Chain A
Amino acid sequence: MKKSNDHGKPETGHESTNGSGQKYGMVIDLDKCTGCGTCMVACAAENNVSVRADQSDKERVITWMRLYKISNGKKFPHTEVSYFPRPCMHCDHHPPCVSVCVATATKLDFNTGIVSQIYTRCIGCRYCQAACPYGARYFNWWDSFPQDKGMDRYLTPEVSPRMRGVVEKCTFCHHRLMRAKNQAYAEDRRELEEGEYITACTEACPAQAITFGDLNKPDHKVSQLIKHPYAFRLLDRLGTEPKVYYLSSRDWVRKLADNFLPGEYEPVVNRTWAEDEWSTKPGRDEF
């Protein structure tokens, strides 16, 4: 028998979140991102992401929010660099990782749009990692924390540390949603206000490059930003429908966010950020 979700619809792993519930999403303005890495640090600290004495093994360290440095590949003086923060995309349509999971340890919540991970159910087969094109899933190759260093005193009490041998990923700081919902319940409210639930990376970004909110609410800033002509998604043409959007006025940045055959990419504007400093002008977000 097929399981039903909270809307009473059969759950096949092929649906996307509908318009009736919340659909949390994120917009990252790459023109504002300075690459400072605060989002990565805030995310790791907030979510008890495990650390090792040597974090240089980049293929095996855990970075729910990972910052990529990208370049237009041109020589000086035409070199341009951008930073590309990459959390889990929380794919909205048939998330590649969800349908493959053997033990139903990951699922797309139709009420929030968040792709969750149940650590105590994950068997560590890593099929989800193989299926995810964004590299957003991480396996615990080691025990999570050194036991005798007193690091447990720095753990966030609301987030369970993960054991060795399971996969973990960005949860859009799901515990913050729970906290905000509890607060709303205590105040006899059914709806969350905009900004009442935001992720740790959103809160920490000093350049305010990250905006978080409900994509189903037209008055939320994220809903407006994703209609911007400069808005795009990472690997959009694969059809995963990420709920993380990016903004950039630079064509080469947008072009690097997906694969294009020669002549396929249609530039939004031909001028680059370096030429007209568009992104720094007042009214940047009120297009």
Chain B
Amino acid sequence: MDSPLIPHGVKRCTPGVFFLWTLPWLALLAWGGLSAFLCLWKGLNQTNMSNVFAFALWIVFDLAVIALGAGAFFTGFLTYIVGRKELKSIINTAVVIGFICYSGAMVMLGIDIGQPVRGWFIMWHANIHSMLVEVSFCITCYLVVLAIEFIPLILENRQIEKVKELRFLGHNLHEIMAVFAATGTFLSFFHQGSLGGMFGVMYARPFAAREGFYIWPWTFFLFVLSAIACGPCFTILCTKLTEFLSRKKLVPDDAIEFLAKLSGRLLAVYLILKTFDYLGWIYGIVPRSGLTFMDFFRDGPYGVWLIVAEMIFCGLLPAIILLTPGGRKSQGALIFASLLNCTGIVLNRFLFIIVTLAVPVMPFDRFWGYLPTWQEWGIGLAVVGYGFLVFSLAYRYLPMFPKEIELNPVPSE
């Protein structure tokens, strides 16, 4: 039925099977749509956020997907600026993932603010000292860049390509993609960093506060590094999942292995710097605030195990696997390491958001716990559903994997 839209020379499932595949994701989107409607109509009282947990599940989702989507800018940088030709077979995937992550995060942020119609005040009444202004500005601009990077791929659709003007536009956009890759890299460096800076500058919250260089707390640089260490792993995970579901090889091993190796090295460097950061914090800021490290975990559900899990199980372990040639070559080990790496970054963001707010600063205040409502889960999971849906549509109708035909020749009938 939709065969005229499917790229030449590739095999896709029947429209019926594809429709069934999209049903769970459409259901998630419907759940999210209902939740969003309730939050916009009745207000944020539909959530379990409070004056203690001013930031909650949505901000964790936001920071996590933005970090996981870092594969887009970093792969773009490596492909167009550094000139790693082998990554051309995976750059489209990285861009689509980046677009999904950033657009999803933007929608979620729009619902998260108490007065969504005043969102433009961030630009109009911008407080240049606020890290969140830098984040908002760079994310907005970068989403435009991602859309521009996504457009040539959309224009390569079989039917759209038939329109001469659009084909011409797509081709010319391809030619100047290095400019957008460079712009994306610049913007991403600042918003990934500022997301970390947001927490590091909260000097009156000893759990999050960090020293740093000039106006940038160390978290600024660590967030950039952790994002580029895990972003490629998320791209690998999405590719492997697509390969598993379609039972096809879609990306040559050299591209995957290069990304895995780079991810491993960056993760190792990150872990070393993060260890120094933790030590500097434990022996600097924490005692200066009159606290000890264990004071933060005296009570409440968020224990020191979170840091052990972040640094050892989701940091050191995947770094070792990714740095070992055998680990990278073994499909199981590679996927396991990528999963751990991505989990580690989510844990890191969770610590900076939820645990920072759960730990009381006033000695006579108490520890707080937080559980999201179904509306919060609905909106968070809608981003997952949206991601699956857009990715599936892009895979079905666009030449997302340029090497797919070469790797899977269709037997002539």
Spell out A's residues near B (CB within 8 Å): 12-13, 59-60, 68, 70, 84, 94, 96, 99-105, 121-127, 129-135, 137-143, 163-167, 234-235, 237-240, 256-261, 264
Closest to A11 in B: B129
The residue in A138, A141, A239 that gathers the most chain B C-beta atoms within 10 A of its C-beta is A141
A sample of 11 more A-B contacts (CB under 8 A), given A59-B51, A124-B114, A165-B114, is A59-B50, A123-B122, A134-B361, A166-B115, A237-B288, A237-B290, A238-B203, A258-B290, A260-B290, A261-B290, A261-B292
Chain B 105-145 interface mask (CB, 8 Å, partner A; 1/0): 00000001111001101101111011111001000000000
Residues of B within 8 A of A258 (CB): 290, 363
Residue of A whose beta carbon sits closest to that of B48? A59
Verify B52–A131 contact, CB threshold 8 A. Answer: no
Contact B130 A135 (CB under 8 A): no
The answer to the question of B348 belonging to the interface, with a C-beta cut-off of 8 Å to chain A, is: no
| List of B residues within 8 angstroms of A139 by Cβ | 44, 51, 54, 114
How far is A12 from B126 in the complex, measured between Cα atoms in Å?
A: 13
Asked if A127 and B130 sit within 8 Å, CB to CB, the answer is: yes
Q: What B residues does A261 contact at CB under 8 A?
A: 287, 290-292
B157 at the interface (CB under 8 A from A): no
CB of B130 within 8 A of CB of A123, answer no
Find the residue from B52, B130, B136 having the highest chain A CB count within 10 A: B130
Q: Are B127 and A133 in contact (CB under 8 A)?
A: no
A255 to chain B, nearest CB (A): 8
* Interface residues in chain B, defined as those with a beta carbon under 8 Å from any beta carbon in chain A: 43-45, 49-55, 112-115, 118-119, 121-122, 124-127, 129-133, 136, 198, 201-206, 287-292, 295, 356-357, 361-365, 368
Give, as a whole number of angstroms, the nearest-CB distance from A58 to chain B: 9
**Whole-angstrom distance between the alpha carbons of A124 and B112 in the complex?**
8
A95 to chain B, nearest CB (A): 9
A235 touches B204 (CB 8 A): yes
Chain B hits for A239, CB < 8 A: 203
Report the minimal beta-carbon distance from A140 to chain B, rounded to whole angstroms: 7
Give the dominant DSSP class at A's interface.
loop
Are A165 and B362 touching (Cβ within 8 A)?
Answer: no
**Which of A96, A163, A259 interacts with B363 by CB under 8 Å?**
A259
> 16 interchain pairs (CB within 8 A)?
A70-B364, A99-B201, A100-B129, A102-B126, A103-B124, A123-B119, A123-B121, A125-B132, A127-B54, A127-B130, A133-B361, A135-B52, A135-B362, A140-B114, A235-B204, A259-B291
Q: What chain B residues lie within 8 Å of A257 (beta carbons)?
A: 363
The answer to whether A124 and B113 touch (CB under 8 A), given A59-B52, A60-B50, is yes
Check A256 against B363 for contact (C-beta < 8 Å).
yes
Asked if B114 contacts A103 (CB within 8 A), the reply is no
Minimum distance in angstroms from B214 CB to a CB of chain A: 13
Complex CA distance for A13 and B203, rounded to whole angstroms: 14
- In the bound complex, residues from chain B placing their C-beta under 8 Å from that of A234 are 362
Give Cα A129 to B205, complex, Å.
11
Residues in B with CB closer than 8 Å to A260 are 290
Complex contact A137–B129 (CB within 8 A): no
Complex formed: what's the CA distance from A96 to B203 in Å? 7
State whether B130 touches A237 (Cβ < 8 A).
Answer: no
Top 9 nearest A-B pairs (CB, nearest first) are A124-B114, A165-B114, A259-B290, A59-B50, A126-B54, A129-B54, A133-B361, A133-B204, A103-B121
Q: Using Cβ atoms and an 8 Å threshold, which residues of chain A touch B53? A: 59
Residue of A nearest to B46 (CB): A141
Contacts of A125 in B (CB 8 A): 112-114, 132
Pair B54/A101 contact, Cβ less than 8 Å: no
- Among B45, B51, B289, max chain A CB count under 10 A is at B51
Name the distance in Å between B201's Cβ and chain A's nearest Cβ: 7
